[in-house]
Amino acid sequence: MTETGQYNFAYLDEQTKRMIRRALLKALAVPGYQVPFASREMPMPYGWGTGGVQVTAACLVPDDTLKVIDQGADDTTNAVSIRKFFQRTAGVAVTERTDEASVIQTRHRIPETPLKAGQILVYQVPIPEPLRFLEPRETETRKMHALQEYGLMHVKLYEDIARHGNIATSYAYPVKVEGRYVMDPSPIPKFDNPKLGMDAIQLFGAGREQRIYALPPHSRVVSLDFEDHPFDPSRADHPCALCGATDTYLDEVITDDAGSRMFVCSDTDYCARRHEAAA
């Protein structure tokens, strides 16, 4: 018996997938709105991407090709584990190439290669509520979203400017979707915020917090800012040491004990391909 015979396709039972798909449809119908869902116990602890895994599991069909990245890299332990999980439970093809994947699950980065219509990007989300750190009460934050009371979000940005001279939030930078809901785009660097208006479908899953939200293709997504302190996605000062790209998000890699460092593209696939093309 093949290993996949031991599990239902993509691990989750069909009823669960149905429940999640309903939540996904609702989320796509109300962009940026956090839809509660009955998050299941997964074979990994909370905080390790269970939300993303459940969304991916509900979306996969046998002829999908799956890519999994963690901070842009396909080869970290977690990315490898999740990819193997779906190989084993769904038997789908896997790839490291962004343009060949139909479903991409990501932790904290958007691939540099622009995504196309027909692709699905699934984000792993730790804390879905953008207002959580200022307003700990769930009852209050729900009301604030319902009544569009987002003054507090700007208070946070105000505090940043007062304390640091500029908006210091560098990741999980809050955005306003379709002029209605304020959303946390998951802990992607603010550098990635401009990519949030894309041709692919974006789905966000928070397993521990039990929320799903979504951005349909071509959603209008605006990063919050002040008139006199406009949003700045920030650029690196250096090109990538491996492929020479000047417009990607870079990781800093310490190369020896003397503190030498190099800056390389965080998106390993993108960097490798550029490298290939140059060779």
Q: Which residues are tagged catalytic? A: 32, 240, 243, 265, 271
Q: Which of 7, 9, 158, 171 binds other proteins (CB under 8 A)?
A: 158
The size of the interface with other proteins (CB under 8 A), counted in residues, is: 19
Q: Does 227 bind other proteins (CB under 8 A)?
A: yes
CB of 196 to other proteins, least distance (A): 20
- Residue nearer to other proteins on the CB measure, 99 or 149: 149
Q: Does 163 bind other proteins (CB under 8 A)?
A: yes
Q: Which of 5, 14, 139, 162 binds other proteins (CB under 8 A)?
A: 162
Spatial distance between the Cα atoms of 170 and 187, rounded to a whole number of angstroms: 9
Q: Which of 30, 44, 93, 152 binds other proteins (CB under 8 A)?
A: 152
Q: Which amino acid is at 91?
A: G
Q: For 153, list phi and psi in degrees, rounded to 5.
A: -65, -40
CB of 154 to other proteins, least distance (A): 4
Q: Does 229 bind other proteins (CB under 8 A)?
A: yes
Q: Does 155 bind other proteins (CB under 8 A)?
A: yes
Q: Does 147 bind other proteins (CB under 8 A)?
A: yes
- Residue nearer to other proteins on the CB measure, 229 or 275: 229
Sole residue written with tokens 């919050």:
224
CB of 221 to other proteins, least distance (A): 18
208 Cβ neighbours under 8 A, 6+ residues apart: 39, 46, 47, 50, 51, 126
Q: For 143, list phi and psi in degrees, rounded to 5.
A: -65, -40
Q: State both tokens at 45.
A: 């602890």
CB of 155 to other proteins, least distance (A): 5
Cα angle at 16 between 139 and 101, to 5 degrees?
A: 100
- Which residues are near other proteins by CB under 8 A? 134, 143, 146-147, 149-152, 154-155, 158-159, 161-163, 226-229
